[in-house]
Amino acid sequence: MKKPTPSAPQRPHKLSTHGDSRIDPWLWLRDVNDPETLEYLRAENAHTEAVMAPEEELQERLYQEMRSRIKEEDSTVPQKEGDKWLAYSVDSDGSEQYTIVFKNLETGELLDEAIPNSYYSLEWANDSQTTAASSCPGDDPSNDGLVYEDKDELFFIRVTKSASKRFIFVISSGNNMSEWHFMESDDPNGGLTLIQPRRQDFEYDVDHHGDRFLIRNNGDGAKDFKVSETLISTPGLENWKDLVPHVLGRPIRGIGVSQDYFVLYYRANGLPQVQITDFSTGTSHDLTLEEEDYSVRLQGSREAEWVVGLCASTIVYLAKKFPIAET
């Protein structure tokens, strides 16, 4: 006789935030120390094992195949000599309001200074002491300077670094619009420069190579986006020139830039495609993937060599078990 699928009982719990109330009937499952939560997870795991038992051989074969494609030994990016601080953001309640904290990597000490009510993105200037928000570890936050403020509640602000690490970008985006500013990573007190003001239904994103910016954008009716270029000294839209023209039906989803190569990420025939161009010769080739169905994405790098990584995977479906920490 087939056992019924485990079903977690509902325990309505009222949550109130910013004057808005809602009922969460399964909030109790967040407490992993609750014996009833552990009992339910064990039941889920047992049910998964029972349902997937006929496919154990297939699961093992898929596991071994995927493992054979993964480098068994890998190393993380080494900490540069002289780097002392680690900054990371924490969201402890799921509100997507983060607190940025600083850790001394030499002593393991967490500083009392923190930046509350932040978004998850931040970047270090090249002095390894100043964050993109102009916050210096060890200083009183009241001494930090406001770099940029967007008072439009429909826009979100994030920061990122160019692939070359030369620039810090401050991006404000929302409602089918975007607006980018940049500053020199070597001069975090030098102020921001606007690339192009926002306007309705105009989206763009930017990276850097040599003396120019490379800009993916939907200007001039480029519904599926194109790539433009402009000198750093003249970043405005009136100076943009097409590098990769718009082709209807070939949506450009992203670009990647390294010291030697330009990577175009687009879709064709319903599948993601990658085209790689050598800056020195101008020659291009498409990345060939043998699988009939797959996903692929661009992966940036923090390595000093300034590289672009590609992550590809065949689409497979596997049962997932919930890990349980026994006490």
Q: Read off the pLDDT band of 111 (50, 70, 90).
A: confident
Residue with tokens 């480029």: 222
Share of the chain above pLDDT 70, in %: 82
Nearest C-alpha neighbor of 143 from the set 134, 152, 151: 134
What residue numbers bound the domain in which 23 lies? 13-67
115-127 average pLDDT score:
80
162-182 average pLDDT score:
93
Question: What is the model's pLDDT at position 244?
Answer: 97
Question: CA–CA separation, 321 vs 41, rounded Å?
Answer: 9
Q: Read off the pLDDT band of 321 (50, 70, 90).
A: very low
Cα dihedral: 256, 262, 265, 271 (round 10): -140
Residue 142 lies in a domain: no
Question: What is the model's pLDDT at position 90?
Answer: 83
Reduced to 3 states (helix: H, G, I; strand: E, B; else coil), residue 239 is helix
Question: What is the model's pLDDT at position 96?
Answer: 73
244-252 average pLDDT score:
96
Q: Read off the pLDDT band of 313 (50, 70, 90).
A: low
Residue 63 lies in a domain: yes
Question: What is the model's pLDDT at position 130?
Answer: 79
Give me the number of domains the chain comprises. Answer: 1
322 pLDDT more than 70: no
Give Cβ neighbours of residue 40 (< 8 Å, ≥ 6 apart). Answer: 6, 8, 29
Tokens standing for 8?
């977690």
Nearest C-alpha neighbor of 124 from the set 91, 162, 94, 168: 168
Question: What is the model's pLDDT at position 106?
Answer: 86
Concatenate the DSSP letters of all residues of 9-27 into one string. Answer: PP--EEEEETTEEEEETTG
Residue 49 lies in a domain: yes
Question: What is the model's pLDDT at position 63?
Answer: 86
pTM above 0.85, yes or no: no
At 185, the amino acid letter reads S
Cα dihedral: 268, 272, 278, 284 (round 10): -30
Residue 36 lies in a domain: yes
248 pLDDT more than 90: yes
74-103 average pLDDT score:
68
**Residue pLDDT, tens place only, 255-286:** 999 889 999 999 998 889 999 999 999 999 99
Question: CA–CA separation, 177 vs 200, rounded Å?
Answer: 6
44-67 average pLDDT score:
90
Residue 94 lies in a domain: no
Concatenate the DSSP letters of all residues of 180-197 into one string. Answer: EEEEETT-TTS--EESS-
Question: What is the model's pLDDT at position 93?
Answer: 76
214-232 average pLDDT score:
98
Residue 58 lies in a domain: yes
Residue 117 lies in a domain: no
Residue 95 lies in a domain: no
